[in-house]
Amino acid sequence: MEKPLTQYINPNRPALHLKEYERVGGYSALRKALTMAPKDITNMVQEADLKGRGGAGFNTGMKWSFVPMDPDIGTKYLIANADEMEPGTFKDRLLMEGNPHQLIEGMIIAAYAIQANVSFIFLRWAYKKAARLLEQAIAEAYDAGYLGRPMGSTGYQLHLHLHTGVGRYICGEETALLNALEGKRATPRLKPPFPQISGLFGRPTIVNNVETLCNVPHIVNNGPDWFKALSNSGDAGTKLYGVSGRVKTPGIWELPLGTPMDQLLEDHAGGMQDGYRFRGALPGGASTDFLVTEHLKINLDYKSVASAGSRLGTGTMVVLDDRTCPVGFVHNLEHFFAQESCGWCSPCREGLPWTEKILRSIEDGRGTIQDLEILEQHTIQLGPGRTFCALAPGAMEPLQSALKYFREDFESHISQKKCPWR
**Residue 196 is part of a domain; what is its CATH number?**
3.40.50.11540
pLDDT at 14: 80
pLDDT at 324: 96
Q: Does one domain contain both 279 and 258?
A: yes
CA dist., res. 108 & res. 91, Å (int): 21
Q: Tens of pLDDT along 238-272?
A: 999 999 999 999 999 999 999 999 999 999 999 99
CB atoms within 10 A of CB 41: 24
Question: Which residue in 253, 230, 370 sits closest to 317, CA to CA?
Answer: 253
Q: Does one domain contain both 330 and 316?
A: no
Q: Is residue 422 part of a domain?
A: no
| DSSP percent split of the chain into helix, strand, coil, nearest 5 | 45, 15, 40
pLDDT at 8: 54
Q: Is residue 67 part of a domain?
A: yes
Which of 321, 344, 379 finishes a domain? 321
pLDDT at 4: 40
pLDDT at 56: 82
pLDDT at 11: 62
How many helices, marked H, and strands, marked E, lie in the chain? Answer: 17, 10
Q: Is residue 267 part of a domain?
A: yes
Q: Would you say 279 and 326 are in contact if contact means Cβ atoms under 8 Å apart? A: yes
Name the band, by pLDDT with cuts 50, 70 and 90, for residue 192.
very high
Q: Which residues of 179-188 are buried (b: 16+ CB within 10 A; e: fewer)?
A: bbbeeeebbb
Q: Is residue 2 part of a domain?
A: no
Query: 193: cis peptide before it, omega within 30°?
Result: yes
Q: Does one domain contain both 292 and 353?
A: no
Report CA 224 to chain centroid distance, whole Å: 22
Sheet holding 118-123, edge to edge: 159-164, 118-123, 77-82, 205-209
Query: CATH no. for residue 251?
Result: 3.10.20.600
**Side chain identity at residue 248, one-letter code:** K
Q: Does one domain contain both 184 and 314?
A: no
pLDDT at 7: 56
CA dist., res. 225 & res. 212, Å (int): 17
Which of 229, 264, 294 finishes a domain? 229
Q: Is residue 395 part of a domain?
A: yes
Q: Does one domain contain both 139 and 214?
A: yes
Q: Poorest-confidence range of 355-359, 399-403, 418-422?
A: 418-422
Domain with 158 in it:
9-229
Average pLDDT rounded to a whole number, residues 139-156: 94
Residue 402 has pLDDT above 70, yes or no: yes
Q: Does one domain contain both 300 and 223?
A: no
pLDDT at 2: 37
Which of 211, 229, 247 finishes a domain? 229
Q: Would you say 310 and 397 are in contact if contact means Cβ atoms under 8 Å apart? A: yes
**Side chain identity at residue 94, one-letter code:** L
Q: Does one domain contain both 224 and 258?
A: no
Q: Is residue 203 part of a domain?
A: yes
**Residue 3, class by beta-carbon neighbours within 10 Å (0-12 exposed, 13-18 middle, 19+ buried)?**
exposed
Q: Is residue 279 part of a domain?
A: yes
**Side chain identity at residue 146, one-letter code:** Y
Q: Would you say 283 and 261 are in contact if contact means Cβ atoms under 8 Å apart? A: yes
Q: Does one domain contain both 247 and 281?
A: yes
Q: Does one domain contain both 297 and 337?
A: no
Average pLDDT rounded to a whole number, residues 41-63: 94
Name the band, by pLDDT with cuts 50, 70 and 90, for residue 10.
low
Q: Is residue 201 part of a domain?
A: yes
Q: Which residue has the higher pLDDT, 1 or 402?
A: 402
Q: Would you say 258 and 49 are in contact if contact means Cβ atoms under 8 Å apart? A: no
Q: Does one domain contain both 258 and 143?
A: no
Structural domain count, the chain: 3
Q: Does one domain contain both 279 and 387?
A: no
Q: Does one domain contain both 129 and 15?
A: yes
Q: Would you say 91 and 11 are in contact if contact means Cβ atoms under 8 Å apart? A: no
Residue 303 has pLDDT above 80, yes or no: yes
Model's pTM, two decimal places?
A: 0.93
CA dist., res. 50 & res. 53, Å (int): 8
Q: Tens of pLDDT along 331-384?
A: 999 999 999 999 999 999 999 999 999 999 999 999 999 999 999 999 999 999
Query: CATH no. for residue 399?
Result: 1.20.1440.230
